[in-house]
């Protein structure tokens, strides 16, 4: 037998065995890997949506979780509103998910502004929430909002103009995604809640699972029966083909003091909540939800992180 034929046969055997192993992993022993006791609800940040024209905010993540046995809902709270306002919307949606699923609670996995949105729900309605996982969460605000607030003071003409532009843009965004609130979008509400001072005030009112100090890494794991985890990253430009990376490098990066670790939008110190999983992934703020369209750098695919967290919740009886 020639060397070429032997090589071809070896490659064919490898292909067959690999395909069988993948099929077994997906449809055999691992099909319940992410099968949590309570449904998972994904909660987006600023300009949140479930999907627009078939493109998910959490790009490809919900379907991957479902492939591994999870019951997943993609929430659709206001694209541009304050934390408490969005939290009340999320409570209404959770109640609908529970009515459909028959479950008594949900696991919230929240990105960016979705973290304080979810934290508000857990604070005022802990009976609805089994756990919160903060993913690159906006738990201490961002210097980006501080810089913008310096240019757009509260009550100024420029703030009014920003609200008018937001009303038009976010209203269309809400209509495209079937969102709950196309007629009440507010840039000033988002900005007020996203400054470091605004989030400090929020944390005084809803301190559950927040680490102590200015840059604490571990908070209470369980508060009022709700369990808390977080993960994050400090990548900025992770893929030169990704337009989001260019925005993070050329614009938002300038808001951060030299030496401060961040993901292009949020400081590392603000990503911690409850029990830290890991906070040094080579992911920027958009990578954490696999945007733009899954363009990632040399780093673990976030699908794996969400899947592993679902398994962690499952093993915790959640």
Q: What digits encode the pLDDT tens for the residues 247-262?
A: 898 899 999 999 999 9
- The answer to whether residue 85 scores a pLDDT higher than 90 is yes
- Is the model more confident about 99 or about 250? 99
Is 76 within the bounds of a domain?
yes
Q: Is residue 167 part of a domain?
A: no
Q: What is the predicted pLDDT for the residue at 163? A: 65
Query: Residue 55: which pLDDT band, with cuts at 50, 70 and 90?
Result: confident
Considering the chain, what is the average pLDDT of its residues?
Answer: 88
Predicted pLDDT at 19: 35
> Which entry of 263, 279, 283, 287 is annotated as an active-site residue?
263
Question: In the structure, what pLDDT confidence band is assigned to residue 174 with cuts at 50, 70 and 90?
Answer: low
Asked about 112 being catalytic, the answer comes back as yes
- Considering the domain boundaries, does residue 307 fall inside one? yes
Q: Tell me what the mean pLDDT of segment 261-289 comes to.
A: 97
Question: What band does 160 get if pLDDT is binned at 50, 70 and 90?
Answer: confident
Q: What is the distance between the alpha carbons of residues 114 and 87, in angstroms, rounded to a whole number?
A: 9
Tell me the mean pLDDT in the region 139-166.
Answer: 83
pTM of the predicted protein model: 0.88
Whole-number Å distance between alpha carbons of 294 and 2: 42
Q: Please name which of 271, 20, 290 lies closest in space to residue 133, comparing C-alpha atoms.
A: 271
| pLDDT band with cut points at 50, 70 and 90 for residue 171 | low
Average pLDDT of 117-124?
98
Q: Is residue 52 helix, strand or coil?
A: strand
Looking up residue 78, the CATH number of its domain turns out to be 3.40.50.1820
Cβ–Cβ contacts within 10 Å for residue 189, how many? 21
| pLDDT (average), residues 118-126 | 98
Write down the pLDDT at residue 195: 96
Q: Is residue 166 part of a domain?
A: no
Q: Is 283 considered catalytic here?
A: no
Please identify which of the residues 111, 262, 279, 285 carries the catalytic annotation: 285
- What is the CB-side half-sphere exposure of residue 230 using CA atoms within 13 A? 35
Catalytic residue among 75, 78, 112, 186: 112
Q: Taking CA 62 as the corner, what is the angle to CA 58 and CA 67, rounded to the nearest 5 degrees?
A: 150
pLDDT at residue 9 is higher than 50 = no
d(CA 245, CA 240): 7
Show the CA angle centred on residue 277, arms to residues 232 and 233, nearest 5°: 15
Domain that includes residue 55, residue range: 36-140+208-315
Asked if residue 174 belongs to a domain, the reply is no
30 included as an active-site residue: no
Give the range among 3-17, 74-88, 222-236, 257-271 with minimum mean pLDDT: 3-17
State the total domains in the chain: 1
Tell me, yes or no, whether 28 lies in a domain.
no
Contact status, residue 182 vs residue 175, Cβ threshold 8 Å = yes
Domain membership flag for residue 188: no
Is 45 domain-assigned? yes
CA distance 217 to 270: 9
Provide the greatest CA pair distance for the chain: 82
């Amino acid at each position: 037998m020639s060397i070429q034929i032997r090589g071809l046969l070896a490659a064919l055997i490898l292909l067959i065995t690999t395909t069988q192993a993948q099929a077994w992993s997906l449809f055999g022993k691992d099909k319940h890997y992410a099968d949590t006791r309570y449904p998972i609800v994904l909660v987006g940040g600023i300009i949140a949506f479930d999907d627009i024209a078939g493109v998910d905010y959490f790009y490809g993540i919900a379907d991957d979780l479902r492939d591994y046995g999870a019951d997943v809902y993609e929430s659709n709270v206001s694209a541009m509103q304050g934390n408490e306002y969005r939290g009340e919307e999320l409570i209404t949606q959770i109640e609908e998910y529970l009515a459909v699923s028959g479950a008594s609670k949900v696991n919230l996995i929240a990105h960016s502004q979705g973290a304080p949105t979810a934290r508000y729900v857990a604070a005022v309605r802990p009976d609805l929430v089994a756990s919160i996982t903060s993913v690159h969460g906006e738990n201490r605000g961002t210097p980006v909002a501080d810089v913008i607030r310096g240019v757009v003071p509260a009550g100024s003409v420029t703030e009014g103009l920003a609200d008018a532009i937001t009303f038009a843009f976010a209203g269309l965004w809400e209509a495209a995604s079937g969102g709950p609130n196309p007629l009440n979008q507010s840039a000033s509400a988002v900005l007020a809640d996203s400054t470091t001072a605004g989030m400090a005030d929020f944390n005084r009112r809803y301190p559950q699972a927040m680490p102590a100090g200015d840059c604490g890494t571990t908070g209470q794991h369980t508060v009022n029966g709700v369990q808390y985890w977080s993960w994050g990253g400090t990548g900025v430009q992770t893929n030169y083909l990704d337009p989001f990376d260019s925005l993070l490098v050329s614009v938002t990066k300038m808001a951060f003091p030299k030496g401060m670790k961040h993901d292009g939008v949020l400081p590392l110190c603000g990503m911690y909540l409850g029990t830290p999983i890991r906070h040094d992934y080579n992911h920027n703020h958009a990578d954490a939800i696999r945007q733009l369209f899954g363009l990632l750098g040399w780093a673990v695919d976030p699908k794996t992180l969400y899947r592993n967290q679902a398994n962690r919740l499952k093993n915790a009886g959640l």
